[in-house]
Structure 1
Amino acid sequence: MKRITNYMISGAMLLALSCNDDTIDLNPIGETEADFFQSEAQMQQAVFGVYQKLGFFYQWNAQAYVHRADLLPSDDLTRTGSGPFENFEALDGNNGIVGDIYQYSYELLARANTLLTKIEENGEFAYSIEPDLKEVHRGEALFLRSYVNFRLWNTFGTAPLVTERITVLEDAFPPNTTGTELLDQAVLDLREAISGLPEAWDEENVGRATKNSARGLLQKILVFRGTVKNDNADFTEAINVFNSINSVSLMPNYIDNFDVQKENNAESLFELQAEDNVGNLNGWLPIATDDPEFAAIGEINAYYGYYIGTFVAGTTYLATPSLLNAYETGDPRLNLAFDPADENQNVRKYVSTDEEIPGANPNQLSANNTRILRYADALLLNAEAIVRTGGSLSDAIALVNQVRERARNSAETPSAVPADLTVPATADEALELIFNERRLELAAEEGHRWHDLRRRHIAGEIDLTNWDFSSPDPTFNFQPFNVYFPLPENEVIQSPNLNQNEGY
């Protein structure tokens, strides 16, 4: 199991500390920025520092586990207790999870932008031994920056765009973005990242971003942008990008994608490299206990406790009646994703400890990688892009049927369900089949369902104000402005250029 842990760059990504006459002549303790970014090894450490921040979205980290904000708002999951991401009623700019998402995003962006600046400034001499590594590192920084900008758009919509290292106070208050500015930058970054990233890494570095990682993310963002802008060119490019993805395939069994022993597999395009605290299982990043200087950061791990109702997570996240009713009787994915012992309400993905997912641990230090991008998602996005460009409905449904074939072959005894879909008469019917398949295949993963609903609402394809969210909460109150979460109130107050999202 790979994991990104805490390899921080000692002060290299901070603004200069203020000083006074009594301290100005003191020798610095440890490395300063002037001493850093001087070699391939130091640049590599800086790259790992960017990856490390990605873990903050997924780990327990002082009870943040902010990725739950991507999961609960959709019609797939609910909970027995009320909450702002369940009912939208109490969601405001003072919400701690909203603040954490914003903070972690801009901390990662600061690291990525600093690294990109230093590659530009020091690249000629810092990469004197391995000059080809320069473009690889640049590609990794651009990939991670684009991923965060995609997250920011899916969460806030209007969050600021920061593409340069901030070194002076007057640059520290960027304005809101509008429309698809965050996605536009991500597309530019990913086009460039693809050229620098490797096709694959050696065994010691498996889990770092590759060309396929960037291709998968670029395809996804193009489909999202094309949806909200009704832009045929984006869908066409998305198809071309998908066709360039290579050397990947669907895993034989659906549950392989959540098996702690089958991480970074043939279906994976990019994963959070999770770890527990039992030892260094990742060759390309040192564990905290190996380097006491960085031990305060803690382990990078994935947290799934909200699926089983731990004392930390509170009330359990459960499958909604709407989602359960969407599965055909006999679809093996239902029992593999949701526990049949609990009438399929409890999520099993990542957290099951039975023989189907050996070694998974739902507690605070799960070492089971979160699959951020996988090939099944890309297949279904490509089917969507084909339909939206007026392409062959037969070709599009054939891609969906690849996913369904793997699903029915995932039963202990391969079944006839889900059967291949027949080609519908219209493009609208085909899109509904594709979105239903995305719901079933990607249920309770990475906010896929909420993000799909959100983009379709923004595009005017569906109306979420009349949508069956299947929430039992009597205070449920979705409003159209809820497709954009509130910006952190303290950020709005402190920044003269930042306006709160409408409705909050």
Structure 2
Amino acid sequence: MKNLTIQSIKVKSFFSLCLVAAWFVPAGCNPDLVGEPPMGRTEETFFGSATEFRTKLVSVYASLYDHYHFAANGWNGWITGIYLLPGDDLTENLAARTSLELFDGSLNPNNNQMSFSYQSCYKTVARANVILDKVRTVDISAMDNPEEIAMMEGEALFLRAYAYFTLFNVFGGVPIITQRIQLESETNTPRSTPNEVLSQVIEDARAAIPFLPESWPENYAGRVTKNSARGLLAKALVFRADYNSNDPADLQDALTVFDGITAALTTDFIDNFSAYTENNRESLFEIQAAQASALNNLNLHNDGAWRGVENLSVYRGYMMESGGRGDFNDASSTKFLVTEKLRNAFGSDPRLSVFSDPDDGFDGRIFQKYNKPDGVNHLTPPHGGSANNERVLRYADLKLIAAEAALKSGDVPAAINHINDIRSRARNWAAESGYGDGTVPADYPTGESSVPTVMQWIMNERFVELAGEGQRWWDLKRWHASGDMNLTGWDGSDANFSTALASPVQFDVNKHLVFPLPQAEIERNSAISENNPGY
């Protein structure tokens, strides 16, 4: 199923890349050839069928793998720590990512990981804009399967929205590019405000919904659906509300969008992290990981000029115990550990303990989501890349988003019900699977009326349910903006960031809530003259 989808979507990306290269390689200056038709395919003749549109769409999906690639920024240069490490749910055992763990001087405009993340997001934007340009300007009426081609507009809009959502949460205000760039003179785009970037996410996600199907045939499992766009839209609306004094219109809009989601919680919590239960009823969007036709070479990017050995996997060696396998997971430059803050407060919750191994060499602190319990992961030869999908949006996340929107809209009982739905699933799963005794986590009292109390329940529930999924830092920042908590003065103590490193955390709330734009972008883009404050 997944392999069919990935082969049908990704294997063709090589031809797409070659085609793009052909469009921009200058021909020799032989006057005898002036006016002669080109010898091969051109852009004007390429987009003539659903297959050819699908081939180009592949490259948009393929760009997402950059964020999970082992050699993103050179060997062992994975950048996933940007999304996982800055919060208070995970820490590292070695000082290999101190820009993110300690907010030290290495978090600067010349940080290569920041540059790679920024460039990868704009790669997604640029490729999505090509699809949007073609699906809107090419006459598809006489082609095979014009309905699928029309749906691709929704896919491209969602993927662009997701890229801008990432850019907003990492960098704040960035250039918004919604048209295909074809001239160098069009490359100098000024920065938009953070609120404008988030509004672009909302606009794109909302516009995507009418084009998208409720579901795809089984051989296309993993492609963007209406639920994908609904989930991102509802989430972005609550984020925008948080950054705008809990705007009631955005909160109500988020609830309306959430009510349209046709997903449900899985009975088994572990189904959300197993390679054998992917794209399930709780899933709204996943990065489709797989085995290349020959082997996954973790040194090779997903969409390079090589076929059969490209990396179609997700790298998670930093969240896996050493196994003596001799693969790249054992070579990880650091290990991500559950913080003492999280473990001390909620360590008895089976949603945390199930991902722990007491014999991991770190007193059970390596947080092995996607790798534990034994048997859920699927490692690919020869380097051990994981063919276990990365869950980007799932229904539990959105139920807690809806709980927050309901609470701030005055519906306290609805908020508590959403939280208790999540806790009931966890409790019942733990009892049935043997990971708990059926008492933890207990439901919260439905008669509670204190808004601050219930808001703390929501924050705690997201802390546990979504631990290690790249949600926590973005949550902390928006709750600081909304006044639900205060990050001012946070240090490395277990009351705050809870770092395992001896060196001090250098967090400055006036600087580090957004990360620096790459210096190369500021030097290249004449419309940007200043970086984020403090950089």
TM > 0.5 between the two? yes
Which TM-score applies when normalising by structure 2? 0.86
Matched, 1:322 2:322: no
Matches within 5 A, 1:365-380: 365-380=385-400
2:410 is equivalent to residue 390 of structure 1:
yes
Q: Which has the higher contact order (CA 8 A, sep 6+)?
A: 1
Displacement after TM superposition at 1:428 (Å): 1.6
Tell me whether 1:58 sits opposite 2:71 in the alignment.
Answer: no
Cα shift readout 1:100-159 (whole Å, capped 9, x = no counterpart):
11111111111100111111111345x533232232010000010000010000110112
Using a 3 Å threshold, how does the CA distance of structure 1 residues 417 and 448 change in structure 2: closer, same or farther?
Answer: same
State the SS of the aligned residue for 1:373: strand
TM superposition shift of 1:299: 2.5
| Change in 2 beyond 3 A, CA 1:27/1:217 | same
TM-score, scaled relative to structure 1: 0.91
Q: Contact 2:304 / 2:310 at 8 angstroms: preserved in 1? A: no
**Distance of aligned partners of 1:71 and 1:101 in 2 relative to their CA distance in 1, 3 Å threshold:** same
Letter in 2 for 1:354: D
Residue 370 of structure 2 is aligned with which of 308, 330, 350?
Answer: 350
- Matched AA of 2:139: G
Q: 1:39 is aligned with what amino acid?
A: S
Give secondary structure in 2 for the equivalent of 1:187.
Answer: helix
CA shift, 1:96, in A, is: 1.3
Q: Which residue of the partner structure matches residue 425 of structure 1?
A: 449
C-alpha separation between the residues in 1 aligned to 2:287 and 2:463? 22
Q: Is the 8 A contact 1:5 1:298 kept in 2?
A: no
SS in 1 for 2:516: coil
Quickly say closer, same or farther: Cα 1:252–1:168, change in 2 above 3 A: same
Q: CA deviation at 1:198?
A: 0.4
Name which of 205, 226, 235 aligns with 2:241.
226
Tell me which moved more, 345-354 or 219-228. 345-354
Q: How has the CA–CA distance of structure 1 residues 12 and 361 changed in structure 2, closer, same or farther, with 3 Å as cutoff?
A: closer
Structure 2 CA distance for partners of 1:386 and 1:406, relative to 1, 3 Å? same
Q: Secondary structure at the match of 1:120?
A: helix
User: 1 CA distance for matches of 2:121 and 2:26?
Assistant: 25
**Superposed displacement of residue 97, structure 1:** 1.0
Between the aligned partners of 2:134 and 2:103, the Cα distance in structure 1 is 42
- Written as runs of structure 1 = structure 2, the 5 A alignment for 1:156-175 is 156-175=171-190
Q: Deviations over 1:472-502 (max 9, x none)?
A: 3323101121111111111111111123111
- Give the structure 1 partner of residue 493 of structure 2: none
Alignment match of 2:500 (pick from 459, 472, 476): 472
Distance 1:460 1:149, change over 3 A: same
Alpha carbons of structure 1 residues 370 and 318: separation in structure 2 relative to 1, 3 Å: same
Quote how far apart the aligned CAs of 1:166 are.
Answer: 0.5
Q: CA deviation at 1:311?
A: 5.2
Question: Which amino acid is 1:152 matched to?
Answer: L
Give yes or no for contact 1:353–1:361 (8 Å, CA) kept in 2: no
With over 3 angstroms needed to count, the CA separation of the structure-2 counterparts of 1:94 and 1:496, relative to structure 1, is same
Q: Is the 8 A contact 1:56 1:300 kept in 2?
A: no
The residue identity in structure 2 corresponding to 1:54 is L
SS in 2 for 1:132: helix
Q: Which runs of 5+ in 2 are unaligned?
A: 323-328, 491-495
Percent identity over the alignment is 37
| Structure 1 residue 360: Cα displacement | 5.0
SS in structure 2 opposite 1:479? coil
Which of residues 431, 439, 444 is equivalent to 1:416? 439
> Within 1, Cα distance between the matches of 2:124 and 2:253?
28
Letter in 1 for 2:87: S
2:119 corresponding residue in structure 1:
103
Q: What is the CA–CA distance in structure 2 between the aligned matches of 1:110 and 1:409, rounded to whole Å?
A: 45
User: For 1:186 and 1:322, how far apart are their aligned partners in 2?
Assistant: 33
Q: Does 1:444 find its partner at 2:456?
A: no
**Matched position secondary structure for 1:482:** coil
Q: 8 Å contact 2:293–2:309 — kept in the other structure?
A: no
Q: Deviations over 1:143-186 (max 9, x none)?
A: 10000010000110112111110111111011111131111111
Letter in 2 for 1:469: F
State the AA in 2 paired with 1:461.
D
Question: CA separation in 1, counterparts of 2:190 and 2:241?
Answer: 24
Q: CA deviation at 1:461?
A: 3.3
- The counterpart of 1:239, out of the listed 249, 255, 258, is 255
User: Does structure 1 retain, via aligned residues, the 8 Å contact 2:168–2:194?
Assistant: no
Instruction: Report if the CA contact (8 A) 1:268-1:375 is conserved.
Output: yes
1:502 equivalent to 2:533? Answer yes
The gaps in structure 1 that reach 5 residues or longer are: 282-287
Q: Would the aligned equivalents of 1:352 and 1:361 in 2 still touch at CA under 8 Å?
A: no
Task: Check conservation: 1:353, 1:360, Cα contact below 8 A.
Answer: no
Matching of residue 337 in structure 1 with residue 360 in structure 2: no
